[in-house]
Amino acid sequence: MYQFQAGISLILQAIIVHASLTNSRYRLPKPAYYDRRLSSQLFHVIEFYKQPDPVGLPAMVSIPDPLSIPPFRQSVAFTAMEMRDLMTYGLSRLRVRLFEAELSSMALRVELTMDELMVNGSYAINMGSSGPFWLKMKNVRTLGNVSLEVDREGILRAQDIELDIGIEDMAMDFQNLGWFGRVFQGLVNAAPNMVFDMVKPYMLKEVHAKLQDEIDSQIERQVDDRGIVLANSIAPLDLFVSEARWLLRTKGYDPYVVPDYRNSLSIFSILLSNTQLHGLSNFFRSGELEIAVQNNTMSCTVQVGTGRIEGSTRWQLSVVRDVLSRSGAIFFSVEFIQLSIKVSQPLDLRKKPSLMDFQLKLGNIQIFSSGAGSMDYLLEAGVNILPNLLRSQVANAIEKPLRVRIREKLECINVEQFVKRHVADYERRGANMEVDWRLCERKLEK
Report the 10 Å Cβ neighbour count for 217.
11
**Which residues of the chain does CATH 3.15.10 include?**
3-226, 252-412
Cα-based angle 336, 341, 342 (whole degrees, multiple of 5): 165
User: Quick one: three-class SS letters along the chain?
Assistant: CCHHHHHHHHHHHHHHHHHHHCCCCCCCCCCCHHHHHHHHHHHHHHHHCCCCCCCCCCCCCCCCCCEEECCEEEEECCEEEEEEEEEEECHHHCEEEEEEEECCCCEEEEEEEEEEEEEEEEEEECCCCEEEEEEEEEEEEEEEEEEEEECCCCCEEEEEEEEEEECCEEEEEECCCCCHHHHHHHHHHHCCCHHHHHHHHHHHHHHHHHHHHHHHHHHHHHCHHHCCCCCCCCCHHHHHHHHHHHHHHHCCCCCEEECCEEEEECCEEEEEEEEEEECCCCEEECCCCEEEEECCEEEEEEEEEECCEEEEEEEEEEECCCCEEEEEEEEEEECCEEEEEEEEEECCCCCCCEEEEEEEEECCEEEEEECCCCHHHHHHHHHHHHHHHCHHHHHHHHHHHHHHHHHHHHHHCCHHHHHHHHHHHHHHHHHHCCCCCCCCCCCCCC
Q: Which residues pair with 374 in a beta bridge?
A: none
pLDDT for the residue numbered 384: 55
> Could you give the CA distance from residue 426 to residue 437 in angstroms, rounded to a whole number?
15
Q: What is the pTM of this model?
A: 0.73
CATH number of 252-412: 3.15.10
Q: What's the pLDDT tens digit per position in 75-118? A: 776 777 888 899 999 888 888 888 898 888 888 888 989 999 99
> Could you give the CA distance from residue 195 to residue 72 in angstroms, rounded to a whole number?
13
Q: Of 38, 47, 48, which Cα lies nearest the Cα of 9? A: 38
pLDDT for the residue numbered 2: 45
Segments of the chain with pLDDT less than 50: 1-6, 8, 10-35, 441, 443-446
Q: Of 349, 337, 285, 288, which Cα lies nearest the Cα of 308? A: 337
Which residues are CB-contacts of 421 (< 8 A; sequence separation ≥ 6)?
436, 444, 445, 446
> Could you give the CA distance from residue 204 to residue 371 in angstroms, rounded to a whole number?
75
pLDDT for the residue numbered 418: 82
Q: What's the pLDDT tens digit per position in 137-167? A: 999 998 888 888 877 777 777 777 888 888 8
CATH number of 3-226: 3.15.10
Report the 10 Å Cβ neighbour count for 189.
9
